Amino acid sequence: MSPALNPGAAPLSRRAVGDAVDRVRGTFTFAVDRRIEGTLHAVAVRSVAPHGRITSIDAADALAVPGVVAVIDGSHVAADDGISPWYGENRADQPVLAIGKVRYVGEPVALVIADSRATAEAAAAQVWVDIEELPHVVDPVLAGAPDAPQLHDEWPNNDSGTWTLVHGDAERAMATAAHVHTATYTSPAQNHVPMEPHSATGAWLPDGSLEVWTGTQSPYVVRQRLATMFRLDPDRVRVRGDSLGGAFGSKIDLRLEGLVALASRAVGAPVRMELRRDEVFQSASKHAATVTMTTGVDEDGLLVARIIDIVWNSGAYALQTPRSSRTGMIRSPGPYRIPHVLARSVARYTNTVPTGPFRGAMTGQVCWAHESAADEIAAELGVDPVEWRRRNLLRDGDAFATGDVMHEMHYVDLLTAVDDALTADAPPTSSTRTRTRRRGRGVAAVLKTTRTPTRSEAQVQVDAEGQVAVRTSAVEMGQGAAASLAEMAARRLDMPAEDVSVSWPDTGWTPFDQTTSSSRTTFATGLAVERAASDLRACIAQQVAQPWGITPDQVVHRDGCVSSPGDPAQRMTYADVVRSSGAGELVGTGRYETPPGAGRLDPETSQGNVSVHFHQGVVGVEVEVDTETGRVHVLRAHGATYAGRLIDAERARKQIEGGMLFGLGQAVMEETLYEAGQMINPNLSDYQIPSLLDVPLTSSTVLSDADPDAEPHGIGESTVPPMAPAVANAVHDAVGVRIRDLPVTAEKVLRALREKQADDRKN
């Protein structure tokens, strides 16, 4: 047993507004910078086979390396009565270390624990793992074939989630459509590429409880998983978080926490792990997907029916796929008024890196389909694609494919804003346009649901020094969540946001929050913080009202002080109020929870109230295509979203514009490639993300609701999914070729151009 990592300490906190200075100077502390004295280091030995049975693991040579303390593998885990090694959100199909079988290249097979990372790394290369290879499958469509290799005995047909959505009678309505369009769109596995790699430190305390420091987006989910895995009461697990250097979904649910807890349990000391870049690539992936979409429209181009078939690649383990594949399916009809919709979704296990949420989760894949299809349909009808969307986009009172009657719909305004921005600028000068360079414009729209049901709790407190602290388990990962939460509390307390500190998550101290994902923090955690701050405000007013002989609601709050309206002598700072109260601090609590029943859907038809509100985004881009090379240059991008009640315009713009840059890489260059069951580009030279030099001119529109009681809406993802189809639509506008297979690489565009030229010559 080891000493507490930081016994009894209150959660760490810091001023949230203005932390950019530290980020720029390099003095900001990220999770990966966290060092705890006396820790040992673990490195995973990973499978080099995509699928196989482990026949032996020989750690003798590794154990002989000076500095190595222990080597543990799945057999130790399976033999330990104190451990339930299998985990997952919906089905416990993933072992913390491979037990008996490996299912993808990179799967952790053993852990080497040593006094330094370098020693552990060197020794890991000397753990000899014998694997009897089994046939493998990486393509989710092939994984559904009757004779396909089976990954999990308990889950036949490699099925990791099957769902349907039935709204009206799509098959019958399709037969009546004046015009039917059908096409298949594919998108590949991609990596989140957070700049900061994953890291975690775990320790067992003398009282048998478990403490983990980790770079996670979901401290309470991690706590629950660890409690289940180590058969502890959740209160006996303390998960402490830091700020993250990017996550994008890759740091949700259990990542390294199970491994460091396991290692620490084996050696009786704190153990730290940090991933190399290739291991980051091997730890989480976006779901590859194939979407076939058949759409019927009437004579006026109005949507009549849509039938959608989706196959997701969940990778070797399901994690959240059984739930999230349904979420993706529900968003697949797009933000349109369609009376009849039938969607069928199946997710399949394959011998590839396990998948997880990915900024714009499960939406990029389906948005790629419905927004490419939108332009194709408009072209076939001879209608301008912006006009076609305007006719069909959801408006207030329309029914969505789940039967939800829509409210706060702003699609038409968002589309108009984007269209105006693209056309308002002076047309490009002709000097940059040559015979081989063609320009084009494209737009795309997206609808995303937010996590429903959901729950967040918050505390806001003021101490005798007048220090105001927000305590939540929300995670700051570069999105500015901490600053927004500080601002929301400060406004309720009528004080400067600069004077409010915000906690890091610490399940030992900070209240429950579901996760920092799904663009839910400003909305759900933010509302909880506002309620906590209002509660504190009322508590402060209560303290002074009676002595001053007024009612609490007559108390005036201003600049961190309270006063009595009639009597200027009656004025106290918040600190004075705390001191005179006799308590060490005054605490307000708040909680946000979606209404009962929200998010409950029919199991067969997926009809019901799917989301408390809908994330709405529209993106427009202008591209230049080199007709001799196929090179697509995105010149500018305009994003628009609806923010509900706006908390901070600048941060909102950064999310919108940053989202487009994140989407740009997925649109034109990002793809993890497999050969013989092995990822062949798990590094940032072969797998590239846009660099600063690739950034187009970006601009944005944020629509909002001025009503102070309106709810804030999430905006962190709304411009990610539409980026790829907007680019493909712009490429089509420029040179007349349609790419249906992401990413839109130069080589694909050139091939399509050559085919088109050959066809044009024939005709």
Partner 1 sequence: MRPFRYHRPGTVAEAAQLIADLGEDGAILAGGTSLMTLARLGLAEPQHVVGLAGVPELCGIEGNSGDGITLGAMATLRQVETIPPVRRLAPGLAEAAHQVATVRIRNQATVGGTLVHADPSQDLPPMLMVYDAVARLTGPTRTREVPVAELFVDFFETVVDPDEILTSVHLPPASLGVIAGYLKFLPRTQDDYATISVAAGLTVVDGCIDTARIAVAGGGSTPQRCREAESALVGGGTDVAGLAAAADLVPEALDPVSDARGSGDYKREMARISTRRLLQRLVSESAT
Measure the CA–CA gap between 555 and 551, rounded to whole angstroms. Answer: 7
Nearer to partner 1, 396 or 628 (CB): 628
User: Of 636, 632, 611, 610, whose CA–CA distance to 622 is shortest?
Assistant: 636
Least separation in angstroms between CB 631 and partner 1: 5
Site string for partner 1, 642-671 (x = CB under 8 A): --------------------------xx-x
741 binds partner 1 (CB under 8 A): no
Nearer to partner 1, 130 or 628 (CB): 628
Is residue 688 at the binding interface for partner 1, with CB under 8 A as the rule?
yes
681 binds partner 1 (CB under 8 A): yes
What does the alpha-carbon distance between residue 37 and residue 626 come to, in Å, rounded to a whole number? 56
State which of residues 20, 78, 125, 697 lies at the interface with partner 1 (CB under 8 A). 125
Q: Is 755 among the residues that bind partner 1 (CB under 8 A)?
A: no
Cβ nearer to partner 1, comparing 137 with 664: 664
Structure tokens at 580: 């005179």
Asked if residue 743 has a cis previous peptide bond (ω within 30° of 0), the answer is yes
Going by C-alpha positions, the residue among 340, 329, 341 that lies closest to residue 449 is 329
Among 74, 188, 687, 721, binds partner 1 (CB under 8 A): 687
> Smallest distance from the beta carbon of 683 to partner 1, in angstroms?
8
Q: Does 24 bind partner 1 (CB under 8 A)?
A: no
The pair of structure tokens assigned to 304 is 């009549």
- 358 scored as a contact of partner 1 (CB under 8 A): no
190 touching partner 1, by CB under 8 A = no
Per CB under 8 A, 145 contacts partner 1: no
Query: What is the token pair recorded at 527?
Result: 């509302």
Q: DSSP secondary structure string, 670-692?
A: ----EETTEES--STTTS----G
How many other C-beta atoms lie within 10 A of the C-beta of residue 63? 15
Report the site for partner 1 in 308-337 (rule: CB under 8 A): none
Judged by CB, which is closer to partner 1: 78, or 118? 118
Q: Which residues contact 762 (CB under 8 A, 6 or more apart)?
A: none
| 21 contacts partner 1 (rule: CB under 8 A) | no
Which single residue is written with the structure tokens 């719909």? 409
Query: Count residues contacting partner 1 (CB under 8 A)?
Result: 27
Of 296 and 690, which has the nearer Cβ to partner 1? 690
**Separation CA 310–CA 288 (nearest Å):** 10
Min dist CB 668 to partner 1, Å, is 8
List 694, 705, 711, 741, residue binding partner 1 (CB under 8 A): 694
Using CB under 8 A as the binding rule, the residues of this chain from 435 to 474 that contact partner 1 are none
Q: Which stretch binds partner 1 (CB under 8 A): 146-154, 209-217, 364-372, 681-689?
A: 681-689
Position 431 contacts partner 1 (CB under 8 A): no
Pairwise CA distance, residues 512 & 523, whole Å: 15
Q: According to the binding rule CB under 8 A, does residue 750 interact with partner 1?
A: yes
- Which single residue is written with the structure tokens 């108390």? 555
- Closest alpha carbon to 173 in 25, 294, 334: 294
Q: Applying CB under 8 A, which of residues 4, 12, 65, 122 lies at the interface with partner 1?
A: 122
DSSP assignment, residue 601?
B
Which of the 8 DSSP states describes residue 240?
E
> Does the footprint of partner 1 cover residue 737 (CB under 8 A)?
no
Q: What is the rounded distance in angstroms from the CA atom of residue 653 to the CA atom of residue 105?
A: 39
Q: Considering the complex, what minimum distance in angstroms separates the CB of residue 439 from partner 1?
A: 18
Helix residue ranges per DSSP H, 42-183: 60-63, 74-79, 117-124, 170-176
Residues lying near partner 1 in the complex (CB under 8 A) are found at 118, 121-122, 125, 628-631, 668-669, 671, 673, 680-681, 685-691, 693-694, 745-747, 750
